[in-house]
Structure 1
Amino acid sequence: MSDLDQLTQSLARNLKRWRGERGFTLDTLATRAGVSRGMIIQIEQARTNPSVGTTVKLADALGVSIATLLDQEQGPQVRLVPEEQAVRLWSTEAGSHSTLLVGTEKRGPLELWSWRLMPGDGSTSDPHPTGTIELLHVTAGVLTLVVDGEPHPVPAGASATFEAHVPHAYRNDGTEPVEMTLAVSVPPVV
């Protein structure tokens, strides 16, 4: 079985499990996530590999991290994630990419990401649930962080935090690659 097949199977199993634990019907999850009922059925039957945006919407609607939806197994109190098990969820032909390094469900989902944006590349994100906070630290280049339409240059060595319940984007408007670490904290579903 390929890595993609394993990922698809894990997502199908975990989406069903978390939807059941939350007591959500297919229609309830579809409404909460803004994803069609048919798409959720296809994902739960491992018949499709959804986009990163769809996966984020489903995770947000369930109040879990993407790491939890993609986890192949739950580990002990200390969970080490070897570099080769980090999950690359977004990439471009230019060489930009984002990698989910690790995540947890304790006190609400918390995710740690590694990002690389090549010159001219960018990635947009739909609003997350109210109460979601993102923190980032730029280690190379100058990131253009766009929050609710307002651009903010974040140079190497600088950090930023913002409430992510509004549209936001990460862009590289410069000539050097941007490298950053990003943490996303989503409030628990009540």
Structure 2
Amino acid sequence: MNKKVNITTDSGADASVINEALSAAVREYRSQKKMSLDELSRLAGVSKGMLVEIEACRANPSIALLCRLAAAMGVSVADIVNVASSPCVRIITAEDIPCLWRGELGGSARLLAGTSGPDMVELWEWKMHPGETFETGSHATGTHELLHVVQGSLHLTVGEESFTIGKGAAAVARTDKPHSYTCEGDDPLIFTMTVSERAR
């Protein structure tokens, strides 16, 4: 099985826009809080060197790193990549939906929309090709993911347990443990995912 973990966007426009947004968010947060790189590094569990690269817009952050930084700064990933909700209604055009992961075989994960702040809900669309896997660490305690398989078969692993979710089926998973998604079988996989996470 081909396996690539936490590849983020390619070298195209998505990566550049996301890197610039994250760089600006980290700089603004540190400025507002009068916080040193060392302090944010400890708070987020991200190395100081990585933070320097992020602020200089030279890093290509994984989804897991985006999540850790967002949680440490009290915002959502949707806030950082500018697909968060407004007080009433916010329409996000197809062109403005960021791709935050690309698999080595052409798969993708797009953050379609999300709410602002540390208590957040996100809506994702995942497309994976046979053999592709995405692995990530634990989310905050009590985080849940709601998954619906539109096409193909999803192999979901949470901690030590594994499950297969077929076309048309749905699942609720508590993802405060390391977890992974794999495209199982010979057909491409498409699934939607809603993430609900509360601030620690």
TM range (shorter): 0.7 to 0.9
Structure 1 residue aligned with 2:89: 78
The answer on whether the counterparts of 2:85 and 2:116 sit within 8 Å (CA) in structure 1 is no
The letter for the 1-side match of 2:60 is: N
Alpha-carbon distance change, 31 to 66 in structure 1, aligned in 2, over 3 angstroms: same
* Gaps in structure 1 of 5+ consecutive residues: none
Taking structure 1 as the reference length, the TM-score comes to: 0.86
Q: Which moved more, 1:127-136 or 1:71-80?
A: 71-80
Alpha-carbon distance change, 135 to 74 in structure 1, aligned in 2, over 3 angstroms: closer
Alpha-carbon distance change, 47 to 80 in structure 1, aligned in 2, over 3 angstroms: same
Alignment root-mean-square deviation, CA? 2.4
Asked if residue 46 in structure 1 is aligned to residue 57 in structure 2, the reply is yes
Q: Which of 164, 173, 180 pairs up with 1:169?
A: 180
Taking structure 2 as the reference length, the TM-score comes to: 0.82
State the secondary structure of the residue aligned to 1:172: strand
Instruction: Give CA-to-partner distance per residue, 1:111-169, whole Å, 9 cap, x none.
Output: 11000111111101110111211111111111111010211011111111121110000
May I ask how many residue pairs the two structures share in their alignment? 188
The letter for the 2-side match of 1:187 is: R
**Matches of residues 2-13 of structure 1 in structure 2 within 5 Å?**
4-13=15-24
Structure 2 residue aligned with 1:58: 69
Asked if residue 145 in structure 1 is aligned to residue 153 in structure 2, the reply is no
CA distance in structure 1 between the aligned counterparts of 2:85 and 2:168, rounded to whole angstroms: 34
CA distance in structure 2 between the aligned counterparts of 1:162 and 1:74, rounded to whole angstroms: 24
Task: Give the percent of matched residue pairs that are identical in Structure 1 and Structure 2.
Answer: 36
Q: Which of 125, 135, 138 pairs up with 2:146?
A: 135
The answer on whether the counterparts of 1:89 and 1:100 sit within 8 Å (CA) in structure 2 is yes
CA distance in structure 2 between the aligned counterparts of 1:90 and 1:144, rounded to whole angstroms: 18
Asked if residue 187 in structure 1 is aligned to residue 193 in structure 2, the reply is no
The answer on whether the counterparts of 1:119 and 1:177 sit within 8 Å (CA) in structure 2 is yes
* Gaps in structure 2 of 5+ consecutive residues: 1-12
CA distance in structure 2 between the aligned counterparts of 1:72 and 1:14, rounded to whole angstroms: 14
